[in-house]
Amino acid sequence: MHKRHIRFLPSGLLIFIMLGMIPTWAQSENLTERVSSLEDNLSLAQRQLEVAMSRTSNLLRRIEELERGMEQLEANLSRVMSFALPSPPPDFRVESIGRDSDGNYSVVLRWRNNPDREAVHSYVVWFASKGFPYLPAETVNSTSGIMRVKVPGFIKGHEIVFKIFAKNEAGQGEPSYREVEIKGYAPYLMSRLRVISLVLVLLVIVIVAWWRFPRGESTRDE
């Protein structure tokens, strides 16, 4: 009887061991499934990363294409502007009139530079006495800030019309005009002199009246 019990002991032990390994197999199966799931997720993440990188590359290429297009557009716009005539020179006016050593009069003209986008490289000034054709006066190659030019050779009493053109590579634009009468002084100076003269005349009248009035009273007292 003891021998029979000893004979069946290994079989029971084997069954016990196998039953004890069932949880280990189950855990192994779970680990295998988790590893497989992680591998699937990693593969999916890699595919998504590849798609994102591909889209980023396409966007960068598109940005480069747009930048090249903008550069081409700016170049074309610059070419179009180079063929556009400039506008009339702004703020064109007579600054002063002065007498020269030869007895004639000179006129100083003043104006502001055209906008930079018009690419003006020079200005041309013309003049004409009323009723006569225009004659060239001066060409000014400076194109920065406030510009001035002195036009000599005028006679007092003449009425002169000046016109000025801006020029760029496309040609000559529309002119600005200014008319002036040669009086020997700038118009604003003449008005100041008239006011000063009137004040002086009134002051002289007051002084003479004041000086004569007391003298008349003393004569009547005698």
Q: Are residues 40 and 75 in the same domain?
A: yes
Q: Are residues 66 and 146 in the same domain?
A: no
Instruction: Dump pLDDT digits (tens) for 167-194.
Output: 998 889 999 999 998 875 555 555 666 7
| 129 shares a domain with 75 | no
Q: Who's near 153: CB < 8 A, 6+ residues apart?
A: 104, 106
114 shares its domain with 66: no
- Is 82:169 a contact under the CB 8 Å cutoff? yes
Q: What distances in angstroms separate CA 221 from CA 134, 142, 214, 215, 217, one per listed residue? A: 73, 77, 11, 10, 6
With 0.75 as the threshold, say if the pTM is over it.
no
**How many CB atoms neighbour CB 5 within 10 A?**
9
**Same-domain check for residues 134 and 52:** no
Q: Which long-range contacts (CB under 8 A, 24 or more apart) does 21-30 make?
A: none
CATH of the domain at 178: 2.60.40.10
pLDDT in tens, 102-135: 989 999 999 999 998 888 999 999 999 988 999 9
Total domain count, the chain? 2
Is the domain of 78 the same as that of 99?
no
Whether 215 maps to a domain, the answer reads no
206 lies in some domain? no
Could you tell me if 117 and 190 lie in one domain? yes
Query: Does residue 47 sit in the same domain as residue 101?
Result: no
Read off the pLDDT of residues 71-85 as tens digits, 9 standing for 90 and up: 888 776 666 655 688
Other CB atoms within 10 Å distance of the CB of residue 122:
14
Does residue 212 sit within a domain? no
Q: State the residue range of the domain holding 3.
A: 1-82
